Structure 1
Amino acid sequence: MTRSTFGGLDDPRADHARRSRGAWLAGSAAGVLLLATLGPAAHAADLNDDGGGDVSAVVVNGKRNASAAQQVEAIGATNVLSADQIQRNPDQNVVDALARLPGVSVSPTDNMGSPSQGNHHGVDAAGRGEGSFVSLRGLNGAYNVNLLNGVNAAQGMPYSRQIELSLLPPVGLDRIVVSKTSTADMDGDAIGGTIDFRTPTGLDFKDPMTRIYVQAGLAQLPLRYGLKGGSGLAQAELARRFGADSRFGIYATAYYGKRNFASTMQDYQAGQWEHAISDGEQGSNPVGMDKSDNLLLTSLNAQFTRGQQKRYGAIASLDWEGERTTLYARGSFARSNIDQEVYQKSIQADGYSAGVLRPDGLYQNAEDDGEYHYWFETSPEVSELDSFQLGGQSKFGRLTVDYNAFYSWGENSAPDHAEITYQTDADHDLNGPFTVTYRDRYPIPQLTPAQLARLNDSRLFLVGEDSGEFTSSHSEQRKTGGRVDFHYDVDGDVLRDLAFGAKYVESRRETSSRDYSGLNPYPAGSTLADSPLINRTLGQTIKGVYPYALPIGDGAALTDLMAGLSKAQALSADDFNKNTMSGTEKVSSVYVLANLKLGVVEVQPGLRYEHTEIHDTFWNQVTNPDDSAGASAFASNRTTYDFVLPSVHANYRPDAETVVRASIWRSYVRPAFFQLAGGRRTTLNPDGSIDITEGNPNLKAISAVNYDVSYEHAGASGTQVMVGLFLKDLSNYLYDRGNTYRAQAVAQTGISSISRPENGGDPRVYGLEVSGRRQFTELQGWLGGLGVSGNLTLQRSKVDLKDPDTDSGMRMQGSPDLLYNASLFYDRDGLTASLAYRYGGPTLVSYRFGDYGGADLNEWQRATRTLDASVAYQFQSGLKLTLSASNLLNDYGYYRTVGRDSGTIPQLVSSGRNAFISAAYSF
């Protein structure tokens, strides 16, 4: 057998090999043997995995389980999720499904945001009750390459290179292939790994196939508040072969879904906490005192959010298979529209400091009063991810040529955001000390009956002056490109084959945000009780925690009101353009690799070269000494990167069921557009000096030397075991510094300082991955369907930020120490069931700097856990019914704190339990 030289498991460049009439065929970069019917027609037979491990079970004609072959035959560490595995579990989207794999962690928020991002992809996103971003081996989504059928997916996020994958529902996919090691024919900008979302094709099916899938669900938390909590999803798909000898194949699917959600939230904001004991009145943390144990919460923000998500899309492919040539056209469209409203009742006490001098000369801080606030905002989001490609493969004797051209478009926008604020006057504020206790992680203010009565009286809340705001933000990226790959089958005793190729990708990024603030929708003295926006009141903001009456209303009416007022406000050139940025990125690459076979040892050496040119345009805002606008104008910068990326993969295969792997390869990640050119502000000071805040086109790309060793065994009895070790030595770390850049004095005439992003030190990430699955088929009768599966990931990371305002040797952002999944399942005679537990360990999500920063006060996303259950039955008629439920223990969906071990300053989100019933019918 000759192994293919192509990159990942079942690489799209080898699609032609999968499609020959249901036989075993050589397909992927690993030379993986795949079975022809990997499409949804095989779903009924895909009953041999519960989704808790790292394998995909695929059965053709009920004769053989191919899950072992798929992973053991792979060149590098590879995980696969089949369509049946994805749909079997009660996951809202493909992100939550991926969290069931080893080395994969997910988050509802973008941990690598920007100073301008605010709650867009922050706590508001967490309130939607689903995962959105994927991290591989302790590295967030900016370190990954995401593909749609092998095509580079456009990155629509405004401030990072991540992709918000939550817009993809758990339907319409054939499988997801996660490659954790990279070969020379794969894109080099993947330190974490490569995730390829694969869709079926018409040639995957021997017989005509039509399938209808419907799902209905209920969310517990909105129902508790008397709100809509239903969800629904419908999908139709078909596949046909036609033409002479059935050489043509067509596949098409379309889906539409609607989901109502609600969450309760407790939020904290910058400036709303301080040191409980300080060396001066509201001063610094005393020397020798643990900062995380010396925190004082100075405000409380009790929140409730509700909303609706609509997801719809379509996938289509047309394939032709000739004797020596195959051709294809594939397209996909996925869109998500989120309408979300956020309501807040708060006690803002941070402006009422009351420090008391202690006998030791330190100050005991407190708040002697607080203001009552009400806040209502909309938090909409529009996401889209589309792709289209034309390609094929031609054979000329021993030479095989693969080629394609593609286009991808991605959007992630926050359009038509509106907000309004009300607050009580001084006579109706707290009018007393602000003190809190804690219960179930929530801060509980100690209110008298009179204080609570005022907080619950909407007649006392007056519309604030200039309290209205309207913003509209848009971000998109377009990618076009093409590639050609040559594979020459040498079939020698040692050298089996050679491959070489070239690829070109050009990206265009555009982002803008316009803010119309200081709007006055109502006359002074108007009360919350009189607001036409409000149409009902919740008895409690968070039941059992905050008995604060919470008026809620019409988000669309609020948006229309503020949008109308914004039309009368003329923005200055600076305000209109300051958040506008565009850029192009051109990446050219070539590679060569070989496959060598030395007995039972396979060696694949490879070399890749990538050249990148980035050109960005942004607004340079110039401010005169009197704070008036200066000679502002658009400016531009240019950045280039060149990387030579060698790789060596070696596999030892003592038998067909076992493989021992060792790999070493180099990879890199380019900085985000925002870091290179995130707008410039030039301030001309009265003394003639100049201060500059800007992006940094001289940032170095993050590079890494990656090491990977693993043992994998998949026995004929169904027992599967994998143990792997990985190490990533990175250089030139890039990190999110929060709401400021590093300021550096510049030895240049007339310039006093430049604040801009800077590279950090050289981090290291290393870890252990273990996974296993065992079905006790040797047991008699129905007991033979019982089984267990699970995986465990231990990770460690360390980095010196090389920033004088913080500590050295801290954890990397987004890198949890511990992840695990455990599942008890049943699989026999058409009945499948599972009880699955998932745990994600604490993760550092934001560094803090200065006196209110350092390792003790970094912000952490605390451990999350969920217990899910599902049961399904496959009828011989082609009907499959599934019942499932998520978050059975009603755990918090998101828990973030200042300090890893302190709960004084918490951010909590609870979304409750969810239940689903689905039916699929194939005919």
Structure 2
Amino acid sequence: MKHTESGTSESQAKHRLVLKSGVAVLAAAGLLSTFPVMAQEAPATPAADVPEQATVTVTGVRRAAQTAQKIKKDADNVIDSIVADDIGKFPDTNVAETLARVTGVQVRRDGGEANTVLIRGLPGIATLLNGREMFTTTGRYTKLADVPSTMLQRVDVYKSQSADLPEGGIAGVIDVRTNRPFDFKGFTAVVNGGATNNSLAKRTDPNVSGMISNRWKTDIGEFGALVGVSYLRNHYTEERVFNTKPIDKSWLLPKLTGPDLVGLESIKGDRRRSSANYALQWKPNSDVELYAEGLTSHYLNNFETDFFVGLPWWGPGDQMSATKIPGTDQLQTLNSHNVNTIMSTQANRASTVTQQHAIGGRWNAAPGLRLSSEIARTLSDYDWQNPILDTITNVPNATVNTNVGGSSYVAYGGMNLNDPTKYTLSQLFDRYGHDQGSSTDWRADGTYTIPDEGVFKDFGFGVRAAKRTAASIKSFEGSVPAPAGILASSLPGMNCTAQMQNNWGTTAWYTPCASYLISNTADVRKAVTGSSSAKAIDPGSFFSNEEKNYALYGKAHLGWETAGIPFDGTVGMRVTKTDSNLLGNSQNNGAYVLTSKTSSDTAYLPSANFKASLRDDVIARFSLTKTLTRPDFAQLNPGTAYINPNGTTVLATASGGNPELKPFTARNYDASLEYYFSSTGMASFALFRHEFKGYIMNKVVKETFNGVTFDTTRPFNTDDGYLQGAEVSYRTFFDKLPGWLGGFGVEANATFTQGETSTSSNPDLSGKPFAGMSKWSYNVVGLYEKYGVSARLAYNWRSKFTDVYNDGGPGLDLIASPMSSLDGSLGYKINENTSITLTGANLLNFKHTDYWNSRALYPRDTRKYDRSVGLFLNWKI
């Protein structure tokens, strides 16, 4: 629901003034977020708490900091914002990358960019677009990695809930804001063009965007129109060397354990992000405004993973020799001869199209009474193909070392590994699927401001009704073996070579061409199975859900003074009811039976957010809220998808949902102290605690199907849990330094988190920290802006975390090592309309590693990513 302003008349006026003069100017950088010049040209707006004679010219980075700081200071909730110029000065390719620099936000990177986003260590996030719910296909939230940064005006991260915010974000709410034409004084046009080069991919790709906006005064009121487009392409490369989990190998040496596979992965991809947005506004008079706006985004990712699957044990035992890591029974080195070896290509084509359109209006219906209403339609589709083809050969010599400084080493030789005539077809995994989601969402909101000066300042109220659908289906899992003796070279156009730039032993090998697997899948099926028909759809993977949600809320804004200290706050209640009808296929005596399950739940979510102005520049906050997150639709699926074992590279595994899952809730406490010592300088300290009921986690259980025992992963509700921690942040600009030194500034923030769950149904997970949560994370940013030069250098770091519990077997947890990234930008303002910017990402060439319990004994992956350099020209009128 629409977030409404509240506060005294004076504070509201100040708030509107700042947003009008600050955000409206910055908004030009919203769709073209790498356009620093637009914010730099804004006139200075002295902050209310800074004497006129002490002010400095506020442009560019300072304007962005001032606007974000003002949003945080005036907000009723605990909130952090990052506005357009902040985003534009970094080489971000998506919103997830942008959020990595927000206090308390942790991200996970794969394929050289951020994707998974956590707030204070938790994944339960509600995502909004201009205040309304946004999602991707069957998910509860939109994949922020799919959203280009170039579409943004700003991003708000709500860490405490209020009654007017949609429920669903137990960790917080992320609201992505775009532009409207009334944000600008008149005609505005922006073009941003450039290119980025990735070091491992050795490709240079375009990144272009544009926006045009105007407003007109007519006899029937004022009109505004805006349209923007964005296109980004990104060829990327990631290289990995890996071990699999330790298993018993005592048949070679007494008490010996070691990985079954030691291999290499070459990952190459081509990401394309395109988006378009529009906004129309009509203000027939000073009391009425109508609008229509929409966004369409398309994320296409064509990528491949070329595996060198080293099977050093898959040869004559009398031709092997091994050593152990000193003082242990774990394998160090293995030399083998005449080893059967698999080369596997996983081809992927993933396409996501998401669009949202909304119409609405605002009306000052009477003195003090403001009403608004809006209806929105969201559609999202995800199509994917993932054919996997394995080929096999016999390699004369193989040498592996499971741990060389935390990485493994895989050296195979004695033959030309690039010769396709040495390989025969082994097996085909024919995988594909489709997800879709839609919603129709109506809401109406109102605020009544009380004219009398009393404790109650205004009342807010609203209703919401939404209908949401989600459906998913995919093919059967598992492989189909190829007839013996079919040469890989017999399929023309399928012969490619995988190249590794990092020397982890073997640097090149033959691999099936991913483009051929995607474009000529029928020919590959024919060669392997004798039929060009696609693998059948798996009824066990199917689910379809229709969900109807109704909500109403009321909140009151209060203000009073005690002992000379002004207090301000909101208290409210949100009541939400959800009726759900789930369809899926369950197993009954080996047959699939369509199963329907209906459910209904009603939740009461109180919230209270208070702040005390201890001084004009010091604010203390406290909030107490209750939040709720519903299970993902896939987690409710009663069906099960099975992967049958093939005796070599595939184990008997399965995954399914749990239709008995319940929504989980949290009682949240937040307290902070904020010191605003200038319009662009602040320091803050915050404490938080979440207390959970029914947090959802996964567990692996043994289930038998068709006489085969499968390790089956299913979600379940835990009992109780908590997460607590602290945040500290600081920002300043050294304006009082003489000359060119006055252009420097610094930002820094750090977060500490600690938490665990308890569960009687899976006691080995009780008392353990949340998977994916780092205990520590921090950001340090150096800033410079003066004489037309604008520069940033940002370092992001998070401590190690447990990725998967019991991943390598009971008691063997998969742990990710600390992660870091150094990114930067350097810009120069050529004239009033033009600037040029040089960007860099992963400047320290970060190396990702993970391991089971001990990196010295059981390393798993070592990964290297691209280092990126971009050059952009920015122009506007």
TM-score by length of 1: 0.81
> C-alpha separation between the residues in 2 aligned to 1:79 and 1:470?
45
**Of the candidates 389, 396, 399, which is equivalent to residue 369 of structure 2?**
399
Q: Deviations over 1:594-639 (max 9, x none)?
A: 0111121012111111111221111223445xxxxx4x33212123
Residue 116 of structure 2: aligned partner: 133
> C-alpha separation between the residues in 1 aligned to 2:229 and 2:633?
34
Contact 1:742 1:757 in 2 (8 A): no
Q: 1:295 to 1:148 in 2, by over 3 A?
A: farther
Contact 1:173 1:198 in 2 (8 A): yes
Q: Deviations over 1:294-346 (max 9, x none)?
A: 96223112011212111111000001123211111010011111111221112
**Identity over aligned residues, as a percent?**
21
Q: 1:900 to 1:480 in 2, by over 3 A?
A: farther
Cα offset for 1:902? 5.0
Partner secondary structure for residue 216 of structure 1: strand
Residue 119 of structure 1: aligned partner: none
Cα offset for 1:681? 8.4
> C-alpha separation between the residues in 1 aligned to 2:171 and 2:773?
11
> C-alpha separation between the residues in 2 aligned to 1:904 and 1:363?
11
> C-alpha separation between the residues in 2 aligned to 1:805 and 1:367?
38
**Of the candidates 896, 900, 919, which is equivalent to residue 850 of structure 2?**
896
Cα offset for 1:818? 0.9
Residue 418 of structure 1: aligned partner: 387
Cα offset for 1:543? 2.8
Number of corresponding residues? 815
Q: Structure 1 residue 913 and structure 2 residue 867: aligned?
A: yes
**Of the candidates 606, 610, 622, which is equivalent to residue 662 of structure 1?**
622
Equivalent position amino acid for 2:295 in 1: S
Q: 1:412 to 1:864 in 2, by over 3 A?
A: farther
Residue 351 of structure 2: aligned partner: 382
Moved more, 363-372 or 872-881: 363-372
> C-alpha separation between the residues in 2 aligned to 1:442 and 1:472?
33
Q: Deviations over 1:369-411 (max 9, x none)?
A: 5531111121221122211111111112222111100111223
Contact 2:39 2:63 in 1 (8 A): no
Partner secondary structure for residue 735 of structure 2: coil
Q: Root-mean-square deviation (CA), in Å?
A: 3.6
Moved more, 876-885 or 327-336: 876-885
Cα offset for 1:195? 0.7
Residue 302 of structure 1: aligned partner: 264
> C-alpha separation between the residues in 2 aligned to 1:730 and 1:27?
40
Q: How does 1:615-630 map to 2 (within 5 A)?
A: 615-624=581-590, 630=591
Q: Structure 1 residue 582 and structure 2 residue 582: aligned?
A: no
Residue 639 of structure 1: aligned partner: 599
Partner secondary structure for residue 820 of structure 2: strand
Residue 611 of structure 1: aligned partner: 577
Q: Structure 1 residue 345 and structure 2 residue 308: aligned?
A: yes
Q: How does 1:340-739 map to 2 (within 5 A)?
A: 340-349=303-312, 370-397=339-366, 398-414=368-384, 416-425=385-394, 428=395, 435-445=400-410, 452-454=413-415, 456=417, 458=419, 461-465=422-426, 467-491=427-451, 492-515=453-476, 524-528=484-488, 532-534=492-494, 536-537=496-497, 540-551=499-510, 554-564=513-523, 566=525, 568=531, 575-599=537-561, 600-624=566-590, 630=591, 632-679=592-639, 695-716=657-678, 718-737=680-699
Contact 2:330 2:857 in 1 (8 A): no
Residue 70 of structure 1: aligned partner: 71
> C-alpha separation between the residues in 2 aligned to 1:392 and 1:202?
15
Cα offset for 1:73? 0.8
**Of the candidates 215, 228, 231, which is equivalent to residue 194 of structure 2?**
215
Contact 1:401 1:486 in 2 (8 A): yes
Cα offset for 1:368? 8.1
Residue 266 of structure 1: aligned partner: 241
More strand by share: 2
Residue 809 of structure 2: aligned partner: 852
Contact 1:219 1:912 in 2 (8 A): yes
Partner secondary structure for residue 239 of structure 2: strand
Residue 185 of structure 2: aligned partner: 206
Residue 244 of structure 1: aligned partner: 218
Cα offset for 1:191? 1.2
Partner secondary structure for residue 243 of structure 1: strand
Cα offset for 1:144? 0.7
> C-alpha separation between the residues in 2 aligned to 1:803 and 1:350?
38
Moved more, 526-535 or 321-330: 526-535
Q: Deviations over 1:837-861 (max 9, x none)?
A: 1102222221227x9223xx11222
Equivalent position amino acid for 1:413 in 2: D
Q: 1:243 to 1:741 in 2, by over 3 A?
A: farther
Residue 865 of structure 1: aligned partner: 820
> C-alpha separation between the residues in 2 aligned to 1:732 and 1:755?
18
> C-alpha separation between the residues in 1 aligned to 2:485 and 2:618?
76
Equivalent position amino acid for 2:99 in 1: L
Contact 2:585 2:593 in 1 (8 A): yes
Cα offset for 1:102? 0.8
Unpaired stretches in structure 1, ≥5 consecutive residues: 1-5, 50-56, 109-125, 224-228, 287-293, 625-629, 683-691, 745-752
Q: 1:517 to 1:319 in 2, by over 3 A?
A: same
Contact 1:861 1:896 in 2 (8 A): yes
Partner secondary structure for residue 454 of structure 1: coil
Partner secondary structure for residue 346 of structure 2: strand
TM-score by length of 2: 0.85
Contact 2:691 2:721 in 1 (8 A): yes
Equivalent position amino acid for 1:262 in 2: T
Q: 1:518 to 1:95 in 2, by over 3 A?
A: closer
Partner secondary structure for residue 779 of structure 1: coil
Contact 1:793 1:818 in 2 (8 A): yes
Q: 1:27 to 1:668 in 2, by over 3 A?
A: farther
Partner secondary structure for residue 836 of structure 1: strand
> C-alpha separation between the residues in 1 aligned to 2:115 and 2:217?
42
Partner secondary structure for residue 191 of structure 1: coil
Q: Structure 1 residue 839 and structure 2 residue 820: aligned?
A: no
> C-alpha separation between the residues in 2 aligned to 1:572 and 1:234?
40
Equivalent position amino acid for 1:238 in 2: I
Q: 1:58 to 1:734 in 2, by over 3 A?
A: farther
Partner secondary structure for residue 413 of structure 2: helix
Residue 50 of structure 2: aligned partner: none
Cα offset for 1:674? 1.9
Q: How does 1:151-166 map to 2 (within 5 A)?
A: 151-156=132-137, 161-166=140-145
Equivalent position amino acid for 2:212 in 1: L
Residue 293 of structure 2: aligned partner: 330
Unpaired stretches in structure 2, ≥5 consecutive residues: 31-35, 43-57, 643-653, 705-710
Q: Structure 1 residue 97 and structure 2 residue 98: aligned?
A: yes
Q: 1:732 to 1:350 in 2, by over 3 A?
A: farther
Contact 2:840 2:870 in 1 (8 A): yes
> C-alpha separation between the residues in 1 aligned to 2:495 and 2:425?
20
Cα offset for 1:671? 1.1
Residue 783 of structure 1: aligned partner: 741
Contact 1:47 1:827 in 2 (8 A): no
Q: Structure 1 residue 763 and structure 2 residue 721: aligned?
A: yes
Partner secondary structure for residue 764 of structure 2: coil
Partner secondary structure for residue 735 of structure 1: strand
Q: 1:922 to 1:457 in 2, by over 3 A?
A: closer
Cα offset for 1:788? 1.5
Cα offset for 1:582? 0.9
Q: Deviations over 1:338-360 (max 9, x none)?
A: 1112211121246679999x9xx
> C-alpha separation between the residues in 1 aligned to 2:778 and 2:641?
46
